[in-house]
Homo-oligomer: A and B are copies of this chain.
């Protein structure tokens, strides 16, 4: 109980700090959301969090992603320093992708988000269904 109170307080402090801070320009949360909040980035990072992967492995592992979007996503992640791209000198070429230290640090928050999603998506579905029902 005391533990939970502390958690709640810590959470309140965190959100308050975020809300009150003046970032003299662009809010870093908005900025990060622009980088990481697109359709595929989180899923690719989560997958790379499991283990180092090659291009086609990722293409098969991340369900529904197109070749084009995987390329675009990986390039952006590489540019942002979250993923390291290694070309092995073989024929045909082999390319490996793995998270950098920075990329790994992102794994914790988005891992929690994934955990939340798995746990609460059914509840959201139910709430949505109930809401729509009430509108009829």
The answer to whether A109 touches B113 (Cβ under 8 A) is yes
The answer to whether B28 touches A46 (Cβ under 8 A) is no
Measured CB to CB, the closest approach of chain B to A25, in angstroms, equals 10
Among A19, A47, A105, A122, find the residue whose CB has the most chain B CB atoms closer than 10 A: A19
Q: Does A72 contact B (CB under 8 A)?
A: no
| Contact of A79 (CB < 8 Å), options: B28, B50, B106, B131 | B131
The answer to whether A15 touches B108 (Cβ under 8 A) is no
Contact-residue size bin, chain A (C-beta under 8 Å from the other chain)? 35 or more
Residue pairs across A and B with Cβ atoms less than 8 A apart, 10 shown, are A11-B108, A27-B43, A31-B117, A32-B124, A33-B42, A80-B128, A80-B131, A81-B126, A108-B116, A112-B112
Measured CB to CB, the closest approach of chain B to A78, in angstroms, equals 7
Main secondary structure of the interface of A (DSSP, over half): helix
Residues of A28-85 whose CB lies within 8 A of B:
28-33, 35, 37-39, 42-43, 46-47, 49-50, 61, 63-64, 78-82
Measured CB to CB, the closest approach of chain B to A48, in angstroms, equals 9
| Contact of A19 (CB < 8 Å), options: B50, B106, B108, B117 | B50
The answer to whether B105 touches A116 (Cβ under 8 A) is yes
Complex formed: what's the CA distance from A123 to B28 in Å? Answer: 11
